[in-house]
Amino acid sequence: MCGIVGYVGPRGSQEVLLGGLGRLEYRGYDSAGVAIISANLQTRKRSGKLQTLRDELVANPLDDGHTGIGHTRWATHGAPTDVNAHPHLADGGKLALIHNGIIENFAELKAELVAEGTEFTSETDSEVAAHMVAREYHRTSNLTEAMRAVVARLDGAFTLLVVHEDSPGVVVGARRNSPLVIGLGKGENFLGSDVAAFVEYTSDALAIGQDQIVTITKDDVTVIDFDGNSVTPEPFTVTWDVSAADKGGWSSFMAKEISEEPAAVADTIRGRIKNGEVQIEGFEPSALIDVDRIIIIACGTAAYAGLVGKYALEQWARIPVDVELSHEFRYREPVISDRTLIVSVSQSGETMDTLMAVKYAREVGARTLSICNTQGATIPRESDAVIYTHAGPEVAVASTKAFVAQVTALYLLGIAIAQANGKGDSKVLAAVVRDLEATPAMLETVLLHGERIKTLAKWMADTQAILLLGRHVGYPIALEGALKLKELAYIHAEGFAAGELKHGPIALIEPGQVVFVIVPSPRDPHSLHAKVVSNIQEIRARGARVIAIAEQGDAAVLPYADEVIPIPLASSFIEPILAVVPLHIFAMELAAAKGLDVDQPRNLAKSVTVE
Ligand code: M6R
């Protein structure tokens, strides 16, 4: 969950590291630090957000140099304090190390080092690795070999970067179950947790595989595996530009990313629909026609996208689909076979729970497909196939544009499988394809209600609890809306299937209780509209304040709703993509009205790379 940057080249390292850390701060923001080699190795590190480190570097500058590493932390072992911030020093301050992940056997390794007389200054697991690399460096006088000796003894997940004053111009990195990519420059090279770390300087990148060690100098990149064998890393071109990873004048990354929801859908479809047929680069749906079961695995918002996808895949491709939280899937010995397709959904492509579930699924013989937003990420590389969502970099911790892109990608998958297995009604599929192509323009009109939703959020700044109801594909939208309210506005929010109301949740309704209701279209083929309107009447009769997200002109809702946020007329599978946007805006504006940090909510990190 931490962000890592490494640099060797002619530029001043400080600027490169701070710029990279700024774009990686979404990964963790409770402390930050840098280590730079000039005449000697110098470090600065501070608890708090990156700005605190920037201020420290102004108040207490270090000598800039051409080799450096930087870290932004999301605390696991040890409180977010100055001493626990990375880099960690060893070898009398000549070696600096940064770490993302958890070293599970650190206690035993620490005991060994303490017995040898090593003194620890922090409470972190990471400091163990620093002292171990220093010990091996003394033995080998080679930083790469020292790293190789150390990783052989570590259990858990880690990305490590290390520099040593006696090896200026060299940064060595290693990774296991934690991300690290290489940026290739001319006369300079970079390492980063993801490409955002160096996108300002280069779009040429290399993906480092599992259990590999990379050594960069300004002119050279070498990669070996943990056994010391030479490895040729996979090249890729970064398609994001630096402006995509910056705020671009918006008040927050989240505001910018919500505004990009139409583009996220458009870019995820782009080039993938030809004459009404879905064709996804590198993905051959005919290879899946013998699949008899699909399990979608994901966490958080990605799991709710998966739940929307389930309704679509089952209806169009006529294959049973389950949706499971990755962390539950892996530990319950699920029944799967070589005809089971595991579809993982992950914005970051690094979520540890999902990564481990994918690995487990492969081990037990399932086929694996990744829906992912991040090039060079681990989950797609551990999967048999990948469908990239093209939402662009998502920096705000709360996932928004990635959600609509994930739903879009799942729809493309559903249509592609249905077209390949011939089970779907071709007219229905053709209509869905047309509707998907029209969705970005419809999303633009939903965004026009932003100011009104902001006003609503301001009125409701003191609200303590919010309920959300939805049915069919509206149900996952209720869950997604509730998650956003919890993580951003820190209020209790609960999403329910509207049909479940009378089975218990209606007891929560008392006068003044705010309830958002996602209302299906009056034209919906299953007549769910009437049932949801009846739910609205039931809660209204008990004094609830109803905010309906309903189709433009839905007269049946008006008499019973305190507020109606209209969405354009659309087919039932497009509605969830439209209805989620007002909820994203509302959660953001409610948090802003309460004076909370919209992009970096408390206790959370964007990418959860520990279990
Ligand atoms: O990177 P991923 O899509 O795998 O992340 C999954 C969840 O951690 C993520 O969606 C999380 O729930 C968001 N903070 C929700 O806004």
Cβ of 348 closer than 6 Å to ligand 1, yes or no, is: yes
The mean pLDDT of 581-587, rounded to a whole number, is 98
Determine the Cα–Cα distance for residues 279 and 273; give it in Å rounded to an integer: 6
Residue 23: predicted pLDDT: 87
Q: Which helix (H) or strand (E) holds 517?
A: strand 514-518
Over residues 111-150, the pLDDT tens digits come to 999 999 999 999 999 999 999 999 999 999 999 999 999 9
Indicate the pLDDT class of residue 403, thresholds 50, 70 and 90. very high
Residue type, 92: G
Beta-bridged to residue 493, according to DSSP, are 466
Q: What is the chain's alpha carbon radius of gyration, rounded to the nearest angstrom?
A: 25
AA letter at 199: V
Say whether 241 sits in a helix, a strand or coil: coil
Report whether residue 378 contacts ligand 1, using a CB cutoff of 6 Å: no
> Can you tell me the distance from the alpha carbon of 488 to that of 587, in angstroms, rounded to the nearest whole number?
7
Q: What is the pLDDT of residue 333?
A: 85
Residue 84 has pLDDT above 80, yes or no: yes
Q: Read off the pLDDT band of 285 (50, 70, 90).
A: confident
Cα(370)–Cα(485) distance, rounded to whole angstroms?
28
- CATH class of the domain at 448-601: alpha beta
Please state, for a pLDDT cut of 90, what percent of the chain lies above it: 82
Element (H, E) at 134: helix 126-140
Beta bridge pairs of residue 297: 324, 344
pLDDT confidence of residue 162 = 98
pLDDT bracket for residue 242 (50, 70, 90): confident
Question: Distance (Å, rounded) from C-alpha 323 to C-alpha 329?
Answer: 9
pLDDT of residue 608: 77
Grade residue 286 by pLDDT with cuts at 50, 70 and 90. Answer: confident
| Spatial separation of the C-alpha atoms in residues 288 and 306, rounded to whole Å | 18
Catalytic residue status for 299: no
pLDDT value of residue 448 = 94
Same fold, 247-446 and 448-601: yes
> Which among 416, 353, 349 has a CA at the least distance from the CA of 389?
349
The best mutation among 27, 307, 375, 399 to test binding of ligand 1, ranked by most ligand atoms within 8 Å of the C-beta, falls on: 399
Nearest of 94, 89, 69 to residue 171 by alpha carbon: 69
Question: Which of 274, 253, 265, 335 is closest to 27 using CA atoms?
Answer: 253
- The predicted pLDDT at position 610 comes to 72
Cis geometry, peptide bond prior to residue 87 (ω within 30 degrees of 0): yes
Asked if residues 433 and 411 have their Cβ atoms less than 8 Å apart, the reply is no
CB atoms within 10 A of CB 611: 16
Domain locations along the chain:
3-245, 247-446, 448-601
Evaluate if residue 245 carries a pLDDT over 80: no
Q: What is the dihedral of CA 259, 261, 263, 266, to 10 degrees?
A: -160
Give the CATH architecture of domain 247-446.
3-Layer(aba) Sandwich (3.40)
Average pLDDT of span 405-419 = 96
Tell how far the Cα of 346 is from the centroid of ligand 1, in angstroms: 7
How many residues does this entry show for the chain? 611
Say which range, 132-141, 223-232, 332-341, 512-521, has the weakest mean pLDDT. Answer: 332-341
- In short, whether 377's Cβ falls inside 6 Å of ligand 1 is no
372 is catalytic: no
Q: Which CATH architecture has domain 3-245?
A: 4-Layer Sandwich (3.60)
Whose Cα sits closest to atom 9 in ligand 1? 300
pLDDT for 301 equals: 98
pLDDT-above-70 percentage for the chain = 100
Q: pLDDT-derived band of residue 504, with 50, 70 and 90 as boundaries?
A: very high
The average confidence (pLDDT) of the chain is 93
